[in-house]
């Protein structure tokens, strides 16, 4: 299994920045590694060089498990990094580079594992469908969404999926917590338009679209969204109380999240909806009042709170501003009381007896949303043992992203247990 670090390093050296020149060379590399192991990959492109790879490994049961990950990465400014972000350098026991954590490290674990199976003649317990997808760091339109829409048959029989953002270790005091994602907040990216009366900038204001939009965005930004304790977060808080041996005050969750540091970061953004204005466009000349003004808002809503979120947004925007969705995706949640969730926990504990797996909900979104549309229960489970000095959330899309080689090897063993244990 010593292959995992080499594959991770190789994958990092393909610059798959999104937006950028596409995932094709990385996808071809993945397809070649699978072919070498006797696994027949299906390679497809949603657009030029927007390439994804899917492969099925037959198991003892046709009820399939989907293991999905993305080939693209977010941009990196080389000047800010200690090593070049696309060097894939291995030093100090870590593989360095953009994507080490998010999520080429995970892809390399899967690849190393299935290649090892091929060498040892191991067959998984159930069919395993591997998906290496383009475009997760944007909307997934050129990756998961396209795959689900155009190649649905590749996912036949999949009842559960594992993907990114979960199963990594978070050191909180003496405890090693492994959050396993059971849901995500939903996405509501919106374009707002205010329409008014165009005219000369020197005239008394009549119906100024720029001002209307600013008022509406200001109301939205200032809104204090109420705390809503959803089942996934409630279960997390209960688990944290048990692990940390202290009470967490449900009436002061925001303060408690701050007090609890890394453990608190697991629920800080998951206790309310949010709506952040992110872009503004209006006008073309200082002495001309434009007839319209537009703005964009990144909205996120908790599982079960889509309607409440949209009604509140509409009330805050008022009658003079209209909204349309740039992207709307529901908030998926997968059962916590399922035997499969227990298997995820068991695989972690088997490799790290000190592991304390807990359920949690992601604040953002992943490709799991697209697969939820096929009725597949998605869990965030990309097992990784981090050293206590490494902060997962700090490295995610951050500078000096790196992953310990031993942590990757740990992940391979956890996945092996999950996919082959009786």
Active-site residue set: 72, 136
Shorter beta-carbon distance to Zn ion: residue 217 or 334:
334
Residue 302, token pair as written in the block:
């908790």
Backbone conformation region of residue 172, classed left if phi is above 0, alpha if psi is from -120 to 50, else beta: beta
Say which DSSP state 348 is in: H
Closer CB to Zn ion, 39 or 382, in the complex: 382
Of 97-105, 109-117, 263-271, 301-309, the segment contacting Zn ion by CB under 5 A is 97-105
Is there a contact between 332 and 184 (Cβ–Cβ < 8 Å)?
Answer: yes
- Piece of the chain touching Zn ion by CB under 5 A; list 11-19, 139-147, 157-165, 327-335: 157-165
* CB of 73 vs Zn ion, minimal distance in Å: 8
Rounded least distance, CB 365 to Zn ion, Å: 10
For residue 321, report the phi and psi dihedrals to the nearest 5 degrees: -120, 130
Q: Does 135 bind Zn ion (CB under 5 A)?
A: no
Q: Which stretch binds Zn ion (CB under 5 A): 88-96, 163-171, 205-213, 321-329?
A: 163-171
Q: How far is CA 299 from CA 46, 140, 220, 355, in A?
A: 27, 17, 10, 34
Q: Are 91 and 98 in contact (CB under 8 A)?
A: no
Neighbour count for residue 162 (Cβ, 10 Å): 27
| Minimum CB distance to Zn ion, residue 74 (Å) | 8
Which residue, 135 or 164, has its beta carbon nearer to Zn ion? Answer: 164
Nearer to Zn ion, 164 or 401 (CB): 164
103 contributes a contact to Zn ion by CB under 5 A: yes
To Zn ion, the closest distance from the beta carbon of 268 in angstroms equals 19
| 102 near Zn ion, rule: CB under 5 A | yes
Question: Which region among 32-40, 113-121, 158-166, 185-193 touches Zn ion (by CB under 5 A)?
Answer: 158-166
Give the bridge partners for 306, in sequence order: none
CB of 103 to Zn ion, least distance (A): 5
Residue of minimal Cβ distance to Zn ion = 102
309 or 392, CB closer to Zn ion? Answer: 392
Among 72, 164, 352, 401, binds Zn ion (CB under 5 A): 164
Residue 211, Cβ neighbours under 10 Å: how many? 15
121 Cβ partners below 8 Å, 6+ apart?
A: none
Nearer to Zn ion, 105 or 277 (CB): 105
Q: Cβ 234 to Zn ion, closest distance in Å?
A: 26
SS3 298: strand
Query: Residue 422: which H helix or E strand, with range?
Result: none
Give the interface segment with Zn ion, choosing from 95-103, 108-116, 245-253, 357-365 (CB under 5 A).
Answer: 95-103
- C-alpha to C-alpha distances, 296 to 138, 201, 270, 323, nearest whole angstrom: 16, 25, 22, 9
Work out whether 367 is an interface residue with Zn ion (CB under 5 A): no
For position 331 contacting Zn ion by CB under 5 A, the verdict is no
**Which C-beta is closer to Zn ion: that of 182 or that of 237?**
182
The full DSSP string for 348-379 is HHHH-TTEEEEEEEESS--THHHHHTTTPEEE
Under the binding rule (CB under 5 A), the answer on residue 10 touching Zn ion is no
- DSSP category for residue 196: -
The Cα–Cα gap between 367 and 2 comes to 29
In whole angstroms, the minimum distance from the beta carbon of 68 to Zn ion comes to 11
Q: By CB under 5 A, how many residues form the interface with Zn ion?
A: 3
Binding mask 17-56 for Zn ion (x = CB under 5 A): ----------------------------------------
Nearby residues of 155 by Cβ (< 8 Å), 6 or more positions away: 64, 66, 129, 131, 147, 148, 371, 374, 376
Which residues form the interface with Zn ion (CB under 5 A)? 102-103, 164
């Amino acid at each position: 299994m010593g292959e995992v670090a080499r594959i991770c390093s190789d994958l990092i050296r393909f610059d798959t920045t999104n937006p950028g020149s596409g995932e094709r060379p990385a996808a071809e590399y993945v397809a070649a590694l699978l072919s070498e192991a006797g696994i027949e990959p299906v390679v497809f492109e949603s657009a030029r060089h927007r390439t994804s790879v899917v492969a099925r490994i037959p198991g003892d049961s046709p009820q399939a498990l989907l293991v999905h990950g993305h080939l693209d990465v977010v941009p990196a400014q080389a000047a800010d990094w200690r090593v070049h972000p696309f060097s894939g350098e291995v030093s100090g026991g870590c593989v360095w580079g953009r994507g080490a954590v998010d999520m080429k490290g995970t892809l390399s674990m899967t690849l190393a594992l299935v290649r090892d199976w091929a060498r040892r003649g191991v067959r998984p317990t159930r069919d395993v469908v591997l998906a290496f997808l383009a475009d997760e760091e944007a909307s997934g339109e050129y990756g998961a969404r396209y795959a689900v829409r155009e190649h649905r048959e590749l996912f036949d029989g999949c009842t559960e999926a594992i993907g990114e953002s979960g199963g990594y270790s978070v050191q909180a005091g003496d405890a090693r917590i492994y959050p396993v994602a059971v849901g995500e907040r939903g996405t509501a990216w919106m374009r707002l338009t205010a329409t008014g009366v165009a005219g000369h900038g020197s005239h008394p204001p009549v119906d100024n679209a720029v001002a209307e939009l600013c008022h509406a965005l200001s109301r939205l930004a200032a809104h204090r969204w109420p705390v809503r304790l959803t089942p996934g977060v409630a279960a997390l808080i209960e688990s944290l109380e048990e692990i940390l041996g202290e009470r967490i005050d449900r009436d002061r969750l925001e303060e408690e999240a701050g007090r609890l540091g890394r453990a608190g970061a697991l629920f800080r953004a998951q206790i309310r909806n949010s709506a952040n204005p992110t872009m503004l466009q209006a006008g073309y000349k200082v002495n001309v009042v434009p007839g319209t003004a537009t703005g964009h808002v990144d909205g996120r809503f908790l599982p079960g709170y889509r309607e409440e979120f949209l009604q509140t947004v509409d009330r805050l925007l008022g009658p003079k501003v209209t909204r349309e969705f740039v992207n709307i995706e529901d908030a998926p949640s997968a059962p916590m009381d399922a035997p499969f969730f227990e298997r995820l926990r068991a695989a972690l504990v088997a490799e790290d007896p000190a592991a304390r797996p807990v359920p949690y909900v992601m604040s953002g979104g992943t490709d799991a949303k697209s697969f939820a549309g096929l009725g597949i229960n998605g869990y965030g489970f990309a097992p990784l043992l981090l050293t206590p000095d490494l902060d997962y959330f700090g490295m995610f899309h951050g500078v000096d992203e790196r992953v310990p080689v031993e942590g990757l090897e740990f992940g391979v063993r956890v996945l092996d247990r999950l996919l082959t244990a009786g």
